[in-house]
Structure 1
Amino acid sequence: MDWLQVTILALIQGLTEFLPISSSAHLILPSQLFGWEDQGLAFDVGVHVGTLSAVMLYFRKDIVTMIGAWLNSLRGRMSPEGWLAWYVALATIPAVAFGLAINDIIDVYGRSILVIAGTTLIFGALLWWADVNRTEVRPLEKITLKDAMIIGVAQAVALIPGTSRSGITITAALMLGLERQAAARFSFLLSIPVILGAGMLKGKELMETGTDAQWVMVAGGAAIAAVSAYSCIHLFLKWLDRIGMLPFVIYRLALGVALLAIYFMA
């Protein structure tokens, strides 16, 4: 890779990991438009470390509070933060189970431009419907186990490329009556074990296969991904109530159409 490629791919990873616009849809575009080869496993691990560090840094106070509350829950002292920690953990289970069950199928059949274009369009329209018909009656403190598990199942669906993990989890949360801010914050907290797990799997694969990666570029990509992801989370939460989901829906629809054009004109 050169530094232009590192910068573009790291920015894509950092921004699309948390915006409801699908990282897999965007990561396909550089190779199609510029003919770039795969960036390599070491770079994938690096940008995952970057995005993980960004979300953990942003929610550091929440994480510390949740861990303490979770430990207290083991002693029988429950609190809203303790329940939230349990819900994040339990809601991660569907994605893990689903991933183990169909990962090979997705690798073979799910990574075509046509599939990604279809899911980008379909789940973009669903996000619009959920936002327009939201009730916004409950803050994050009022989330229930049932809510968490439904959102967790929705997150499992995001293993299909083009769906968008943040998009589908926010969609499900809005449908369940959570406020926009609550939906987004739970989605971001739920991303932590998923990104951590994905990074560990890729790291294990990297150690098994070895690499001749350019580590300066890997480190640079991780830093760019971290800064862009942190900025993305901050601005998204700051502007969410003002702009809603419509700009992201419009963008997804345009992206889906562009991917279809690439597919049928190739």
Structure 2
Amino acid sequence: MEWFHIIVLSLIQGITEFLPVSSSAHLILPSQLLEWPDQGQAFDVAVHVGTLLAVIMAFRRELLATSRGWFRHVLQGQASAESRLGWAIIIGTLPAALAGLIFEKHIEQYTRSMLVIAVTTILFGLVLWWADSKGKRSDELDRMSWSKALLIGLAQVLALIPGTSRSGITLTAALLLGFNRQAAARFSFLLSIPLILAAGGLKTLELVESGNGAQWNDMLLGALLSFLSALLCIKLFLAALNRIGMLPFVIYRLALGVALLFIAL
């Protein structure tokens, strides 16, 4: 890969992974719009490792407290707000994990087109705007029940379709269930950790089995850039979220979707 391609794709992954604009769509677009060569699975694994480390770093205190609470509940039967959040993350992860195992190849075959990305970018952008406008935005994260976590997890299944945005659809579902923007965003970020970990693990196994790889320099640079950009993006997004809301991302999605429709059609 050329150095310029590595830098651009790494920054795209880092910036868009946790924003409600679809990282998968943005990673597909350079190859289709600019005719860049496909970056390959090894590079995808590297930049996903970078974003995984970023969200773990950003939420290290919450993760440590949640893990301790969950283990105390499992081993000693001591329920707490932290243990409930741990179970909510597990329950919210299961639907997308199962759907990915069953339908990933079909989704890869039939939905990785510019037209699909354009439609889902516009459609789910409008749904996000509606959720942000109509949701009560009153509940904190400690009001996350197993049933609400399951509903958010079921919504997350839609993120398997490029252009939907995993963070966007989980934010949408959480807002519709009455959570405030900060609580919705924090649960969305926490929910991303097991899925990114699972997806990265599966891609790594595929790489090992196929024997294909990439230059270590490319992978290390990609992981570093995606880590730094994702960490900065998470902090800025959470700091500005209550002030700016979802409207800027909705406008961006609509503009991008319309532009892609013109290109696709």
Band the TM-score falls in, shorter-chain normalisation: over 0.9
* SS of residue paired to 1:158: helix
Contact kept, 8 Å, 1:25 with 1:117, in 2: the verdict is: no
Report the residue type matching 2:126 in the other structure. A
Contact kept, 8 Å, 1:48 with 1:222, in 2: the verdict is: yes
- How far 1:34 sits from its partner (Å)? 2.1
The residue aligned with 1:48 is: 48
The residue aligned with 1:58 is: 58
Deviations 1:142-173 (A, max 9, x none): 11111100000011111011100000000000
The residue aligned with 1:23 is: 23
Unaligned runs of 5+ in 2: none
TM (normalized to structure 1)?
0.97
Report the residue type matching 2:144 in the other structure. I
Tell me, in whole angstroms, the C-alpha distance in 2 between the residues paired with 1:45 and 1:115. 24
Unaligned runs of 5+ in 1: none
Of all paired residues, the percent bearing the same amino acid is 57
Deviations 1:117-153 (A, max 9, x none): 1111000000000001121121001111111000000
Q: How many residue pairs end up in the alignment?
A: 264
Deviations 1:48-74 (A, max 9, x none): 110000000110001110110011101
Contact kept, 8 Å, 1:166 with 1:187, in 2: the verdict is: yes
Contact kept, 8 Å, 2:207 with 2:213, in 1: the verdict is: no
CA RMSD of aligned residues (A): 0.9
Report the residue type matching 1:109 in the other structure. Y
- How far 1:100 sits from its partner (Å)? 2.0
* SS of residue paired to 2:254: helix
Report the residue type matching 2:4 in the other structure. L
Runs of 4+ in 1 over 6 A off after TM superposition: none
Tell me, in whole angstroms, the C-alpha distance in 1 between the residues paired with 2:48 and 2:9. 12
Report the residue type matching 2:7 in the other structure. T
- How far 1:212 sits from its partner (Å)? 4.6
Report the residue type matching 1:223 in the other structure. L
Contact kept, 8 Å, 1:124 with 1:252, in 2: the verdict is: yes
The residue aligned with 2:14 is: 14
TM (normalized to structure 2)?
0.98
Alignment pair present for 1:148 and 2:113? no
Equivalent residues in 2 for 1:131-142 (5 A)? 131-142=132-143
Alignment pair present for 1:224 and 2:225? yes
Tell me, in whole angstroms, the C-alpha distance in 2 between the residues paired with 1:20 and 1:112. 19
The residue aligned with 2:264 is: 263
Contact kept, 8 Å, 1:24 with 1:116, in 2: the verdict is: no
Tell me, in whole angstroms, the C-alpha distance in 1 between the residues paired with 2:191 and 2:163. 19
Alignment pair present for 1:110 and 2:111? yes
Alignment pair present for 1:88 and 2:89? yes
